[in-house]
Amino acid sequence: MQNNTEIHSMNEEVSLESIKPEKHEISSEPPQDEGYAWVVLFFAAIDALFAFGSFSSFGVFQTYYLKVMFVNEPAEKIAWIGTCFGMLLASFSTKIWQLALTQGLIFGLGSSLIISVYLTVSTLWFNKHRSLIMGILASSGGLGGLVLIPLTNKLLVSSSIQWSFRIYGIMFFVCTFIAGIILKPRTEYKPSGKIIDFKLLKDPIAITLYMAGFFSQTGIFTVIMYFPSSLVDNVGTDRKLATNLLMVFVSTAVIGRTGTGFLAKKFDSVKIMIIGHLLCGILMMSMWYTTKNFTVYLVFLILFAISSSPYLTLSPIIAATHFSVQKLAQVNAFTYMFMGLSIFMGLPTLGLIYEKLGKRSEYTQIITMAAICYFLSAIFLVLLKIAINRKSKRIAEETSA
């Protein structure tokens, strides 16, 4: 009887010991969609506010360059500024090539690094609410425009463009530095051993996603960069009101991006993007191209802001769905690299067309080019849908076999 008791006691100890490590293993991995995940979301949203919101405010700077600072300079040269710590260096710049190097290249590279980090880290912390989270982060970029556009206008009026850059740069550094300290992966993160995985440039899902972003980026930046100046030239709106209307764009985009996150829970993400990009091209040709009426311009801006929202919200979700955690950062990086290449090549081309064909006052040529870019992006999204369906079919066949 005593032996049985001892054996029972030993079995109990073994059982308890075997359970303890499991409890420890579970508790050592922070849960997704709760707790610290929401702290990560908050600071990722701050990163998005500055990294993405700053691009919306570039339209204010672009209008200032075209109408005040570089009135006699060719538009294609001015376009290089937005293509390529940069804001602080830009405050000491007086030439177009200096602004292209600082505000464009250095600032652009820094923002891209921040975007890549907060997208990847946020994806690791959320699963159930991932669509909603991507919508919130994309909306935060739009919210950044609501904050930074009036701030930029105020700084340009009350001080100088040099001090505008300095104040902008200091705010950017302080806020993103704090966010960078807080953001951390949910579990030990082991990225791919390859610095560049060239297979991601051959994968049908990846490459069609990249190309859709490439063409749509030219389209959306045409509106951000040239819509305010088109209001000045075509409607007679004063420069301050024209640039302030970008706030209408970004505030509507906040609603559109958040709404897209909710829609993605019920409808196919790629189909949402296809419809949105087709609408963008149609709106450009039917409203912005054909009229010079302020009310029509305003309605166009609101509808375009909603229609152009899906890609920034849903492309990270598609990447997270179809690629492993180890490849996710590189897929996001390639996506934004292609979008950056689009700006690098597209904006100078738009500037050249605006200067040579539009004679610096006619916008129909660049509107047409932007609309074509959106239609091309829609074609690549259709190809993306085909690639996803083929992959799903192949996996289903392998599973059944």
**Mean pLDDT by 10-residue block, N- to C-terminus, for the chain (401 residues)?**
48 44 53 82 85 64 58 49 44 53 58 72 79 75 74 76 76 81 73 69 93 93 87 82 78 83 86 96 94 91 93 85 79 81 81 83 91 97 95 84 68
Give the residue from 112, 123, 138 showing the smallest Cα distance to 342. Answer: 112
Residue type, 302: I
Alpha-helical runs (H) found in 204-268: 204-230, 239-244, 246-263
Residue in 337, 329, 51 with CA at minimum distance from that of residue 179: 51
CB 377 within 8 A of CB 277: yes
What pLDDT is attached to residue 385? 96
Cβ(165)–Cβ(90) under 8 Å?
Answer: yes
pLDDT for 64: 59
CA distance 219 to 228: 15
Cβ atoms of residues 316 and 325 within 8 Å: no
Under 8 Å between Cβ of 191 and 329: yes
| Alpha helix ranges (H) inside 129-203 | 130-158, 161-182
Say whether pTM exceeds 0.75. Answer: no
What is the rounded distance in angstroms from the CA atom of residue 197 to the CA atom of residue 334?
10
Write down the residue that tokens 């196919």 correspond to.
268
Judge contact between 165 and 54, C-beta under 8 A.
no
Domains and their CATH numbers in the chain: 32-186+195-400 (1.20.1250.20)
Contact 48, 144 (CB under 8 A): yes
User: What is the pLDDT, as a whole number, of residue 17?
Assistant: 42
**Is residue 35 within 8 Å of 125, Cβ to Cβ?**
no
Q: Check residue 166 and give its pLDDT.
A: 78
